[in-house]
Amino acid sequence: MNGFVRRQLAIGGIQPMHKYKECTQCNEMKPPEGGIEMSQTKWHCARCWANGVISRKLKDAKTQTA
C-alpha cells in the first residue's frame, strides 16, 4: 500500500468532499466509478451510459436488417 492510500485510510485522514456525482441523465447521486464524463458539466453514471450504448446498437442493427 503506497503512502497516499495509507494517509487516506488513516483515522482522521482527509476524505474527498464529493463522494457521489449527480448523473445528468437520471438525476440521481451515484458513485463516480464506472461513470463517463461527457463534458465539463455533463456526467453519466455507468447504467445510463450502458443503456444509451445498447439502445444505439439495437437501433443500428434494426436499420441494417431492414
What is the pLDDT, as a whole number, of residue 1?
47
What is the pLDDT, as a whole number, of residue 29?
93
Q: Which residues of the chain have pLDDT under 70?
A: 1-18, 66
What is the pLDDT, as a whole number, of residue 33?
84
**Residue position matching grid coordinates 458513485:** 31
Cell for 3?
Answer: 503512502
The Cα–Cα gap between 42 and 25 comes to 9
Cell for 39?
Answer: 463534458
The Cα–Cα gap between 36 and 25 comes to 11
pTM of model > 0.85: no
